[in-house]
Structure 1
Amino acid sequence: MFAAHSVENAPQASRRAMRAVAEASGGVMPDAVARLAASPELLNGFLSLSASFERCTLDPLAREVVIMTIAVRNQCHICVAMHTGKLRKLDADPELIAALREERAPADERLAAIRTFTLEVLSTAGAVDDDVVKALLAHGYTERNALEVVMGIGAYTMSTFANRMVRAV
């Protein structure tokens, strides 16, 4: 089930994105992309939304905390591995990486706040109490950042669910 596609046998509407990802990955086609290519809408939608998330006003480390929080919560092992690598490239503290992978709050209070906020948004389907938003804002984040967390949750919930379904490795 959910065969890995090559650029040549993928649906036409997935091919451009697959070529771009392979080029950005040094010629390697990630298994997740090869499998998600069965749905051009999902593949292109995820890539577009994740690119928007990368351009948001959250700093790169905060974005990765959001992503890792979702990946660990949703038990997407490929996502955890990939985003562990991204955190290392950002020179993240190894203890931060360990905490996120072990579902613990990071020692850094600002990063712990965005992790907590992400988990609250997930557990309440967005119906967070005002105090939860105020706690995020108290750590230097903005209302815009709070909404950007929702965008990250959307993108990476889609990705983690799809990657698990297709058994991407």
Structure 2
Amino acid sequence: MFTDHTVETAPPAARPAMEAVTAAWGHLPQAVARMAESPHTLDGFLELSAKFESTTLEPHSRETVVLAVAHRHQCHLCIALHEKKLAALGPAEHPERLAAIHRFTCAVLASSGAVGDDELHRFLRHGYDRRNALEVVLGIGAYTLSTLANRLTGSA
């Protein structure tokens, strides 16, 4: 139903983002080729994901957030990609911190952000802070956009 756009067939406004992704990855992922149908959606995801990558959360924690969202939305493409990225990071120094951010991410998703004080304090006791809690929300937003777009376009 959705087109696997190339840089030549995509809407002109999507082309710079597609070229940047191709340069960074060495190829154009199908998910990007299909999301290019809406340049605003493609740019929005790339901007949000770049913002999430620049947060104070360490890489293992960021990938854990992304995987929690991907599992929640059953985006098999994202699961495979981000499991590979997490494995490439090597073993985490503090697995209990990753368990805490996974639990917190799932709680935020399940409660639509209305986690209780106990859940927030449990998260904070593992060395995270309130800024990190909001950064989890940013990650959820970025990767909810991606996973839902991937499923809609058939990329997942």
Q: TM-score, normalised by structure 1?
A: 0.89
Aligned residue identity for 2:18: M
Is 1:15–2:15 an aligned residue pair? Answer: yes
Residue 50 of structure 1: SS of its match in structure 2? helix
Instruction: Give 1:25's aligned residue.
Output: 25
Instruction: Give 1:167's aligned residue.
Output: 154
Displacement of 1:84 after TM fit?
A: 1.2
Pairwise mapping of residues 39-118 of structure 1 onto structure 2 (< 5 A)? 39-92=38-91, 108-118=95-105
Percent identity between the two aligned chains: 55
Displacement of 1:77 after TM fit?
A: 0.5
Displacement of 1:91 after TM fit?
A: 1.3
Provide the rounded CA distance (Å) in 1 between the counterparts of 2:103 and 2:25: 32
The runs of 5 or more residues in structure 2 that have no matched partner are none
Is 1:120–2:119 an aligned residue pair? Answer: no
Is 1:142–2:129 an aligned residue pair? Answer: yes
Aligned residue identity for 2:8: E
Displacement of 1:92 after TM fit?
A: 3.6
Residue 168 of structure 1: SS of its match in structure 2? coil
- Aligned residue among 116, 129, 147 for 1:129: 116
Is 1:6–2:6 an aligned residue pair? Answer: yes
Is 1:153–2:140 an aligned residue pair? Answer: yes
Q: TM-score, normalised by structure 2?
A: 0.96
Provide the rounded CA distance (Å) in 2 between the counterparts of 1:19 and 1:168: 19
**Residue deviations 1:45-85, cap 9 Å, x none?**
00000000000000000000000111111110000111011
**Residue deviations 1:70-117, cap 9 Å, x none?**
111111000011101111221146xxxxxxxxxxxxx92211110010
Alignment root-mean-square deviation, CA: 1.2
Which aligned segments of 4 or more residues in structure 1 are displaced greater than 4 angstroms? Answer: none
Provide the rounded CA distance (Å) in 2 between the counterparts of 1:92 and 1:48: 28
